[in-house]
């Protein structure tokens, strides 16, 4: 099993863009929060090993740390790909008196902006997004996003150091959004490490086409790739192929190593724990919204997990990249 590095103690303050605030530090195990009811609406499933699972796991962790269901009550709606249904769920949770209602999908935004004014005492959270709706006079929305390109960059550095063939394969879903951020960061990281390296990127055109993702991985391997990465829930298919062909895989979003412990050698983990906790605290302090959060390496929202099996110098290069990004020495150019 990979050595899971304990999440580094979250850092305070970072030169953040205006109106963007960092998550507050989490102190120790016992969380000091009042009982709260949280509801979350997600486009895929809580077990997708990717986008939705990442935040759901964080919620469960908070619940556990805070003392269980009596303190943190969690309600969820998954597979809410249909925005109309998602909106109904959001309104319903708010009407049911949930204190924090999370809309975990970009596409939920316009619905959320219509619902939020009707529930001025409820906090809402919207991700991935940067807009808290203050421009429209809304004060009870938090926004959050993951700077996926940061971990992407680190994974890229790692991949370039691992690759012997000089070819790396990337299995993307749809060429947009979070996935594209990650992949662009990945390509930048790989190129920065080895300008001659070839990074082949292919998209399946769908978030859930596991079979095509698997074949994309196969194709990359046939094209000479000896390190693979990819994003969205479809990648479980690609990881299966990587496992079969014994090609190392670099993950993102959720920890995919249980699926192939020897193959998933590094992961950019989205750790929403601190962000969520900060929202809870703000809410309980009477600040219902208005903050835009970012998961970054610097604030510990993005953490890198490295497997023991990785060569030391590769991990060293990756950690150096991490440090560079955190310190601001490395800036990532994306299209």
Binding-site member from 3, 60, 211, 323 for other proteins (CB under 8 A): 211
By CB under 8 A, residue 79 contacts other proteins:
yes
What does R_g of the chain's alpha carbons equal in angstroms? 20
- In the complex with other proteins, which residue's Cβ is closer, 3 or 95? 95
Residues 97-116 binding other proteins (CB under 8 A) are 106-107, 109-111, 114
- Work out how close the CB of 278 gets to other proteins at its nearest, in angstroms, rounded to a whole number: 20
CA-CA distance, 333 to 335, in Å (whole number)? 7
Between 102 and 260, name the residue whose CB sits nearer to other proteins: 260
Select from 7, 240, 262, 320 the one that contacts other proteins (CB under 8 A): 240
- x/- letters, 126..165, toward other proteins (CB under 8 A): --xxxx-------------x--------------------
Nearer to other proteins, 130 or 284 (CB): 130
- Whether the upstream peptide bond of residue 128 has omega within 30° of 0, thus cis, is yes
- Rounded to the nearest 5°, which phi and psi values hold at 78? -110, 180
| Closer to other proteins by Cβ: residue 24 or 174 | 174
Q: Is 81 in the site for other proteins (CB under 8 A)?
A: yes
List the structure tokens of 135: 């421009």
- The beta strands (E) that lie in 154-241 are given as 167-172, 198-203, 227-230
38 binds other proteins (CB under 8 A): no
Q: Residue 78: how many CB atoms within 10 A of its CB?
A: 18
204 is an interface residue for other proteins by CB under 8 A: yes
Binding to other proteins by residue 284, rule CB under 8 A?
Answer: no
């Amino acid at each position: 099993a990979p050595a899971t590095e304990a999440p580094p103690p979250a850092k305070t303050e970072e030169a953040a863009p205006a109106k963007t605030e960092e998550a507050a530090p989490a102190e120790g195990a016992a969380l000091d929060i009042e009982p709260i009811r949280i509801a979350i609406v997600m486009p895929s499933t809580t077990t997708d090993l990717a986008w939705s699972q990442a935040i759901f796991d964080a919620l469960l962790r908070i619940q556990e740390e805070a003392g269980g269901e009596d303190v943190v009550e969690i309600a969820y709606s998954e597979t809410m790909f249909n925005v109309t249904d998602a909106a109904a769920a959001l309104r319903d949770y708010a009407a049911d008196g949930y204190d924090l209602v999370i809309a975990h999908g970009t596409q939920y935004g316009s619905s959320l902006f219509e619902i939020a004014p009707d529930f001025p005492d409820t906090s809402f959270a919207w991700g991935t997004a940067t807009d808290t709706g203050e421009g429209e006079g809304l004060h009870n929305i938090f926004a959050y996003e993951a700077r996926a390109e940061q971990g992407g960059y680190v994974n890229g550095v790692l991949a370039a150091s691992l690759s012997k063939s000089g070819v790396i394969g990337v299995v993307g879903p749809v060429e947009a959004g979070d996935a594209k951020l990650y992949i662009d960061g990945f390509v930048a990281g790989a190129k920065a490490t080895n300008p001659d390296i070839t990074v082949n990127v292919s998209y399946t055109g769908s978030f859930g086409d596991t079979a095509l993702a698997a074949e994309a991985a196969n194709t990359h391997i046939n094209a000479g790739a000896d390190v693979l990465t990819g994003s969205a829930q479809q990648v479980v298919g690609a990881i299966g192929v990587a496992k079969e062909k014994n090609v190392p895989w670099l993950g993102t979003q959720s920890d995919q190593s249980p699926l192939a412990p020897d193959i998933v050698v590094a992961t950019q983990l989205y750790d929403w724990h601190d962000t969520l906790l900060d929202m809870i605290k703000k809410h309980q302090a009477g600040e219902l919204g208005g903050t835009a959060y970012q998961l970054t390496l610097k604030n510990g929202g993005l953490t890198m997990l490295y497997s023991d099996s990785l060569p030391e110098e590769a991990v060293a290069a990756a950690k150096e990249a991490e440090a560079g990004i955190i310190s601001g020495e490395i800036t990532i150019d994306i299209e």
